[in-house]
Amino acid sequence: MSRPHAPAPEPSPDDAPSPASAPVDGGRIPPTELQVARESAERSGRTVEDVLAELGLLDAAPASAAATGAATEAPVGPAAAPAPASAPATATTPDRGTTENGRTVQPAAATTAPATPAPHLDETTTIVPAPDRADAACTARSAIDGGFLITTETEGDGVVVLVDEGLTTDQAWLDARAAEIGRPVHVRPTPPWVLKNRIVQAFPAEVADNAANELYRRNPLLSARETFSRGQKIGGILLVLAFLAGLVFAAVPTIVISVAALSLIFLAGTAFKFFVAMRGARFDVVERVRDDEVAALDDDELPTYTVLVPVFREANIVANLIENLGGIDYPAHKLEILILIEEEDDETRGAITRAQPPANMHIVTIPAGQPQTKPRACNVGLALATGEFLVIYDAEDRPDPDQLKKALIAFGKGGPTTVCVQAALNYFNATENVLTRMFTLEYSFWFDYMLGGLDYATLPIPLGGTSNHFRTDALRELGGWDPYNVTEDADLGIRASALGYRVGVVNSTTMEEANTSIPNFIRQRSRWIKGYMQTSLIHARRPFGLIREIGLKRFAAFVLLIGGTPLSFLAVLPLLAVTVLSLFVPLAAVNAILPDWVLWVSLLNFVVGNWLMVYLNMMGTFKRGTFNLQLWSLLNPVYWILHSIAAYKGLWQLLTKPHYWEKTEHGLTTQSH
């Protein structure tokens, strides 16, 4: 639920600062709008004060207003008396001209907004209450798509309408607005990102609700909003009751069957990863993009690209964030970087504003709401994005400078069914301690071998949480991210496969910060494993439908990878206990519960499974030449014990707080980039 925005007091004329004395570097002007005003002033050659006055953020002297063209259109339409405050006001989407980034948006379908009080926008501007008409277009979505916002700010006897400065509005459009509102209209050209932020501020409840629940409304079966279906609840309860009854009435057979099942699950999961990774090692399956192909690209012909960077309580790494994103090799006027910050996170927002980011970086404040997750923030960014392509980076990420260009070439090679291209992830602080070494070995195996093998075998690819490059329109068709799934990336990869899309991989790397502490690692991994459980439950609601959509081979891969991964981790501690019992407890005592064949099979599977993972981690060093990490692979069985602990924590959270996003702390490393 979004927190209400308390209306600010209406300022008196005496309190309003003049352009000459206004505190343009702070004060009452929102930092984001101040930044955009500076950009607009730089482009147009005007002063920042004149731009702010034109936007209604400063009171300008009459001469200045005339000079700068504030409210550039004279009142049009019937000279009617002001309408009552409750009178409906509607707006029809205008024909869009070409915006500064060349994007053309089709007129939005008319919708009806919920009848809620008009939230206060700032000291001068509020939104007209939603009209009670079926053909009304007074919603956040229609305002974003239409490129204009009807306000309750008045100028003379007319209403001010903020219009994207890249749009053209002819007399017919102006007359239509005036007729619908019932009052004359004054058009105020507004920089695109000032307008978008005004819209988000004006409709916080709608924006938050759409970001959280759009996928659920489109198809509840594909959302983790409801953790268990009715059938899953009944089946789970029956399974637990059967297990408990077995322990009471037939303890030995129940334990034997349970241990044998865990052993089989563990071996199946590790063997699947081994054979898929070996495919990734044998074949050059990654979308190989050569340097000469990148050099041949013409910057003037590149499409627009949106970068989403969701951040939460990351003020300590803001400098690195701006530096890393500034290193991307892409034309600045075609690169749109959206820093997505939760409403409550004033510290990070202030740190970014004070750092004076470049003009193509825009702060987007995410309206308060639940669940407060990374995918919910990304859905807000997706609604505002104008790029033909889109990528997500985490706050600490340092992508290869040419990654966006390589991704575009990979999209071209992959064809129109390629909805996403995944770049590899690795760690810049790999040698900081034992845990970071193990983390690096695991990621090297996963991104350099496992994902390539999945791609080669045309199996569903669970995306990584960062460096996913998308076709923006296709991502919207997929429904964006599921805010209720804490591994929204893995879920989206499976959903894309079910709808006939392909996910590819590209030979580019994003360097990240590896966890340096065990508690932080447990928090992160418990969330990841819980998300795999959520994704398994979602697609297990309709197994036969999924088989029809993706085929039996891909379904089996989904079961072994997405379902098998958390089950394998859950099996580690019980199998370790059986192994310890068989080695250190008198055999006669153990045989009273577990026969020899169960002990030997469990021991063999546990040893073979761990050996396979040790081998894969050793293999992971070859492509990157990090041979100094190879011997650390021998600690993989201990590393998996940490995973098992995290898996049981994730299982508990799945039952008690399934949508809780346990944040991973960044900026803890002592090593520099």
What does the pLDDT average to over 457-474? 93
pLDDT digits (tens, 9 = 90+) for 407-443: 999 999 999 999 999 999 999 999 999 999 999 999 9
What does the pLDDT average to over 571-599? 85
Query: Residue 108 pLDDT > 70, yes or no?
Result: no
How does residue 112 score in pLDDT terms, banded at 50, 70 and 90?
very low
Least confident of 1-15, 291-305, 592-606, 613-627: 1-15
pLDDT in the model for residue 186: 86
The residue ranking higher by pLDDT, 223 or 119, is 223
Query: Residue 584 pLDDT > 90, yes or no?
Result: no
User: What percent of the chain lies above the pLDDT cut of 70?
Assistant: 79
Q: Which residue has the tokens 């700032």?
A: 122
pLDDT in the model for residue 29: 58
Least confident of 96-100, 242-246, 479-483: 96-100
What does the pLDDT average to over 281-299? 85
pLDDT in the model for residue 671: 73
Backbone angle region of 582, left / alpha / beta, with phi > 0 → left and psi within -120 to 50 → alpha: alpha
- Residue 124, classed as helix, strand or coil, is coil
> Is there a contact between 89 and 128 (Cβ–Cβ < 8 Å)?
yes
CA distances from 399 to 275, 360, 410, 424, 558 (A): 29, 18, 16, 10, 29
CA distance 161 to 148: 7
How does residue 604 score in pLDDT terms, banded at 50, 70 and 90?
confident
Query: Residue 274 pLDDT > 70, yes or no?
Result: yes
Query: Residue 253 pLDDT > 70, yes or no?
Result: yes
> Is there a contact between 642 and 569 (Cβ–Cβ < 8 Å)?
no
CA distance 141 to 380: 11
Identify the burial level of 28 via C-beta atoms within 10 angstroms of its C-beta, where 0-12 means exposed, 13-18 middle and 19 or more buried. middle
Number of Cα atoms under 13 Å in the Cβ half of residue 202: 29
Q: What is the 3-state secondary structure (H, E, C) of 9-40?
A: CCCCCCCCCCCCCCCCCCCCCCHHHHHHHHHH
Query: Residue 60 pLDDT > 50, yes or no?
Result: no
What does the pLDDT average to over 154-164? 86
When computed from its CA atoms, the radius of gyration of the chain, rounded to whole angstroms, is 28
Rounded to the nearest integer, the mean pLDDT of the chain is 80
Q: b or e along 350-385 (b: 16 or more beta carbons within 10 Å of the residue's beta carbon)?
A: ebbbeeebeebbbbbbbbbbebbbbbbbbbbbbbbb
What does the pLDDT average to over 398-412? 96
pLDDT in the model for residue 43: 53
The residue ranking higher by pLDDT, 49 or 416, is 416
Q: Which residue has the tokens 């916002």?
A: 149
pLDDT in the model for residue 173: 83
The residue ranking higher by pLDDT, 651 or 29, is 651
> Is there a contact between 273 and 616 (Cβ–Cβ < 8 Å)?
yes
Tokens of 311: 């951040």
> Is there a contact between 422 and 337 (Cβ–Cβ < 8 Å)?
no
Distance of alpha carbon 273 from its chain centroid, rounded? 27
CA distances from 298 to 15, 53, 469, 508, 660 (A): 52, 39, 20, 20, 45
User: What percent of the chain lies above the pLDDT cut of 90?
Assistant: 52
pLDDT in the model for residue 41: 62
- Residue 162, classed as helix, strand or coil, is strand
pLDDT in the model for residue 70: 35
Dihedral of the alpha carbons of 43, 47, 51, 56, in degrees to the nearest 10: 170
pLDDT in the model for residue 53: 61
